[in-house]
């Protein structure tokens, strides 16, 4: 692991790091914020998964989460959204390839050798963070858009890994959306019976979620139809999953929306991770 930068922020430290990933077969970049409380011992950890076209840097610089993490005593982890590099498969479209890993383990060419984002987030990077930073065994996960999809699906697939869950405007039903069918088909192949394992609304009905969940969705989100928000809200009700689903009037899909409600999400996770 190499340190790219470390800057003091709100009494804690915002760092950016790189390492060689066995899962993705390339160098990966990620960011970690340690609040001032980490100087006294391990603190709970909140993972933030970003959306299409993003890197580790978007939420780190735009969401304003460090101030809230310092207030509540949580570490933050900002992974990248895909493997990157000249030798890594890519696509000319913004919604496939580098910057658009969809947090799945790809099985199809040319994506399979490097696009192993599920294993990378849930296993490899988790181990790296817990071994090298002052974080406890209590982890929560959240994310925005494609990252909201990743947060929901990984939490349900790895329930022992995460004790709290939330999402900002998640892609909720990718198996039935143009933001999903293209990517799942490319990464996992044409057999659509494999897709529900990566679809939050379908996965909720299959595996469920052991805790409660907070979801914020902008009512004026320009991508509302692509996100399939109603599919997730219907699944939450049908499965009797405890939840707080908030439709926020006037808000769109941008980081202005995310930053407005970031404190609510950090507080939500802190309450559950700190008991």
Q: CA 23, CA 135: separation in Å to the nearest integer?
A: 22
Q: Which residue from 44, 22, 23, 26 is spatially nearest to 35, judged by alpha carbons?
A: 44
Active site residue 221: yes
Catalytic residue among 21, 50, 82, 145: 145
User: Does residue 225 have an active-site annotation?
Assistant: no
Provide the sign of the torsion angle of the four alpha carbons 55, 24, 106, 129, taken in this order. negative
Among the options 50, 199, 221, 265, which is catalytic? Answer: 221
Count other Cβ atoms within 10 Å, centred on residue 150. 33
Q: Exposed, middle or buried, 43 (CB in 10 Å: 0-12/13-18/19+)? A: buried
| Residues contacting residue 6 through CB under 8 Å, at least 6 positions apart | 13, 14, 15, 16
Alpha helices in the chain (DSSP H): 57-62, 65-72, 117-119, 126-132, 146-157, 181-188, 200-206, 224-227, 229-238, 255-273
Rounded CA separation 78/146 (Å) = 14
Known catalytic residue: 145? yes
Contacts for 160 with CB less than 8 Å, ≥ 6 apart: none
User: 243-248 and 12-21 as β-strands: parallel, antiparallel, unpaired?
Assistant: unpaired
Q: Write down the residue that tokens 């990077």 correspond to.
A: 125
CA distances from 86 to 104, 121, 133, 204 (A): 21, 22, 30, 37
The active-site residue out of 68, 198, 253, 269 is 253
Catalytically active residues, by annotation: 145, 221, 253
């Amino acid at each position: 692991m190499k340190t790219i930068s470390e800057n003091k922020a709100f009494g804690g430290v915002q760092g950016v790091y790189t390492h060689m990933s066995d899962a993705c077969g390339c160098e990966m970049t990620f960011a970690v914020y340690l609040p001032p409380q980490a100087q006294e011992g391990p603190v709970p950890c909140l993972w933030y998964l970003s959306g299409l076209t993003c890197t580790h840097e978007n939420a780190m610089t735009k969401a304003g989460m460090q101030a809230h993490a310092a207030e509540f005593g949580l570490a933050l982890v900002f992974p990248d959204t895909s493997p990157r590099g000249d030798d890594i498969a890519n696509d000319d479209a913004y919604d496939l390839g580098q910057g658009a890993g969809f947090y799945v383990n790809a099985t199809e060419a040319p994506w399979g050798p490097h696009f192993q984002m599920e294993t990378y987030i849930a296993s490899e990077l988790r181990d790296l963070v817990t071994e090298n930073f002052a974080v406890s065994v209590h982890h929560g996960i959240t994310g925005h858009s494609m990252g909201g999809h990743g947060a929901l699906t990984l939490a349900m697939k790895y329930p022992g890994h995460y004790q709290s869950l939330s999402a900002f405007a998640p892609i909720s039903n990718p198996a039935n959306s143009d933001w999903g069918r293209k990517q799942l088909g490319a990464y996992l192949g044409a057999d659509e019976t494999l897709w529900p394992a990566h679809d939050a609304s379908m996965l909720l009905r299959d595996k469920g979620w052991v805790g409660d969940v907070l979801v914020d969705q902008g009512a004026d989100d320009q991508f509302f139809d692509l996100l399939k928000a109603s599919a997730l809200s219907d699944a939450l009700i049908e499965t009797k999953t405890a939840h707080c689903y908030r439709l926020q009037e006037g808000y769109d899909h941008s980081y202005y929306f995310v930053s407005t409600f970031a404190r609510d999400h950090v507080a939500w996770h802190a309450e559950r991770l700190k008991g």
